Structure 1
Amino acid sequence: MRLRVIALLLLSGGLLQALPTLAQNTPARTGKVERIKVHGKGLEGNLAGDSPDRDVSVYLPPSYQTDRNRRYPVIYFLHGFTDSDDKWYGFTKHWINLPTVVDKTLADGKTGEFIIVTPNAYNRYFGSMYSNSVTIGNWEDFVAYELVDYIDKNYRTLPQASSRGLAGHSMGGYGSIRIGQKHPEIFSSLYLLSPCCMLPAMNGPGNPEMVASMEGVKTQADLEKAGFFTKAMFASAASWSPNPTNPPFYLDLPTKEGVLQPTVIAKWAANAPLASIDGYIGNLKQLRALAFDAGSKDASIAANNKVLNSVLTNYGVKHTYEEYDGDHINKIAERIEQKMLPFFTQHLSNQPAPRSARKR
Structure 2
Amino acid sequence: MLPWSTEFAGRLDEHLFSSDLLRDNPLGDPHERPLWVYVPPGYDDDPERRYPTVYVIQGFTGHVEMWRNRMPFRQPFPELADAVFARGEAPPAIMVYVDAWTSYGGSQYLDSPGTGRYHSYICDEIVPWVDARYRTLADRDHRAISGKSSGGYGAMITPMLRPDLFGALATHAGDALFEYCYMSDFGDVVRHLRAYEGDIMNWWNDFKSRVSFTKEEDGKLLEVLGYTASYTAREDGSLELPFDTVTGVLRPEVWQRWLDLDPVRMVPRHADAMLSQRAIWIDGGTRDEWYLDVAAQAFRQALLDAGVKEDVIHFELFDAAHGGIDYRYPLALAWLCRRIAPGETS
Query: Percent identity between the aligned chains?
Result: 24
| Contact in 2 for aligned 1:165/1:187 (Cα 8 Å) | yes
Distance in 1 of aligned mates of 2:95 and 2:36: 8
1:241-260 alignment runs, 5 A limit: 241-245=232-236, 250-259=238-247, 260=249
Q: Which moves more between the two structures, 260-269 or 344-353?
A: 344-353
How has the CA–CA distance of structure 1 residues 302 and 119 changed in structure 2, closer, same or farther, with 3 Å as cutoff?
same
Distance in 2 of aligned mates of 1:185 and 1:202: 29
Aligned partner of 1:222 in structure 2 is: 207
How has the CA–CA distance of structure 1 residues 124 and 75 changed in structure 2, closer, same or farther, with 3 Å as cutoff?
same
Aligned partner of 1:157 in structure 2 is: 136
1:83-232 alignment runs, 5 A limit: 83-88=62-67, 90=68, 97-200=76-179, 204=183, 206-214=185-193, 215=198, 217=200, 218=202, 219-222=204-207, 224-225=212-213, 226-232=217-223
Distance in 2 of aligned mates of 1:113 and 1:203: 38
Gaps of 5+ in 1: 1-27, 354-360
- Report the alpha carbon displacement of residue 349 of structure 1 after superposing the two structures with TM: 2.8
Distance in 1 of aligned mates of 2:180 and 2:109: 18
Residue identity in the other structure for 2:308? V
Aligned partner of 2:268 in structure 1 is: 278
Distance in 2 of aligned mates of 1:203 and 1:126: 16
**Largest Rg, 1 or 2:** 1
Residue identity in the other structure for 2:305? N
Aligned partner (choices 309, 314, 325) of residue 320 of structure 1: 314
With normalisation by structure 1, the TM-score equals 0.81
Aligned partner of 1:343 in structure 2 is: 335
Residue identity in the other structure for 1:193? H
Residue identity in the other structure for 1:336? Y
How has the CA–CA distance of structure 1 residues 50 and 109 changed in structure 2, closer, same or farther, with 3 Å as cutoff?
same
Aligned partner of 1:20 in structure 2 is: none
With normalisation by structure 2, the TM-score equals 0.84
| Contact in 2 for aligned 1:158/1:352 (Cα 8 Å) | no
Aligned partner of 1:264 in structure 2 is: 254
Return the structure number with greater helix share: 1
Residue identity in the other structure for 1:135? G
Distance in 2 of aligned mates of 1:205 and 1:176: 23
Aligned partner of 1:30 in structure 2 is: 9
- Report the alpha carbon displacement of residue 200 of structure 1 after superposing the two structures with TM: 4.8
- What is the RMSD of the two structures over their aligned residues, measured on CA atoms? 2.6
| Contact in 2 for aligned 1:133/1:239 (Cα 8 Å) | yes
SS of alignment partner, residue 255 of structure 1:
coil
Distance in 2 of aligned mates of 1:81 and 1:197: 14
Aligned partner of 2:225 in structure 1 is: 234
